Amino acid sequence: MSMSEMRKTALAMVARGQGILAADESTGTIEKRFKSINVENTEPNRQAYRDMLFTTKGLGDYVSGVILYDETLRQKSKAGVPFPELLKKNGMIPGIKVDEGAKDLALCRNEKVTEGLDGLMKRCAEYYKMGARFAKWRAVITIGDGTPTTTCIAANAHALARYAAICQANGLVPIVEPEVLMDGNHGIERCQEVTEWALNAVYEALYINRVSLEESVLKPSMVISGADAKRQAPVAEVAERTVTVLKRCVPAAVAGIVFLSGGQSDEIASEHLDAMNKMFKGNLPWPLSFSYGRALQHASLNAWRGSTANVAAAQAALLHRARMNSLASKGEYRPDLEKNAA
């Protein structure tokens, strides 16, 4: 894919009123999700669950693309259609998670670095041939006593930049995801400080590694209080602090910004995104949208519970959350719409 084709893909990923569904849970992560609904974690069950998600009628009105796991990219729908082909048919761009998870960072206690660069060039070439047009790599930054360290920030920024360069060399638009975890009792001020530090490091590394920003998308965490903080910052403060950091750190050339939900509840994730778009009314260099996993899937998963009889209800739940977040990406979300749907 040429740079102009990648640019078209990047812009399509962040088209107005659309966001990205993260359905790239590893086999281990999906096991935790399935355990919560008493469904066995088998390949047929994983295929059936993803089939339910991807065949939701009208999902492409609100979702521009779907991040897949390696197994899912290779699977077919119940009707025998390869999932990448099915997504394209339903108006969504197939994407692929290419990292191999966060591993212990040597000599840095309680910190992680994401691995997966070995063989990535070959894997990206294969994924492109299989129909993927964008990719995702997640780095995790932990706030704690003495963390993050400069070592952790630098190591993860470098890995994200190398990944992004390899993706673009193989025609894939990279989603760059530096997640500052919610875990901890830190206040929102500390989260803002660390998020700004991480983003500055990431964009310096992207520049050094010759990544073209117009053909990239940022997937950051929101600036938010730690999950165990005594004071939970209100929605308006989260919105203002988050956009302040983005304006300080993210070049205008970036195609768009799609937030991860990072452990927030379904409705709070929508409220935060909506507040940002209401507050700044599109007067920003990039669109602000969503790339949610659990915050899009949670209600649908609970409705499905592994039963074919529940597919329609599960798809309705997914479509509702996708619509709510579509509205939030335009600053048009209202909490009463949740009650109306219920």
Indicate which residues carry an active-site annotation.
Answer: 177, 219
Q: What sign has the CA pseudo-torsion 182, 183, 186, 190?
A: negative
Q: How far is CA 40 from the centre of its chain?
A: 26
* Element (DSSP H or E) covering residue 104: strand 102-104
In three state form, how does the secondary structure of 33-63 look? HHHCCCCCCCHHHHHHHHHHHHCCCCHHHCE
Residues 32 and 35: their CA atoms lie apart, in Å, by 5
- Both tokens of 90, joined, read 């339903």
* Distance between CA atoms of residues 182 and 150, nearest Å: 19
Token look-up 């209401």 returns 278
Residue 328: enclosing H or E segment and its boundaries?
Answer: helix 311-328
End-to-end CA distance of the chain: 44
Q: What angle do CA 98, 289, 23 make, to 5 degrees?
A: 35
CA distance linking residue 27 with residue 38, whole number of Å: 16
Q: Token match 């990648």: residue?
A: 6
Q: Give the CA count within 13 Å in the CB-facing half-sphere of 165.
A: 16
Side-chain-side CA neighbours of residue 175 (13 Å): 36
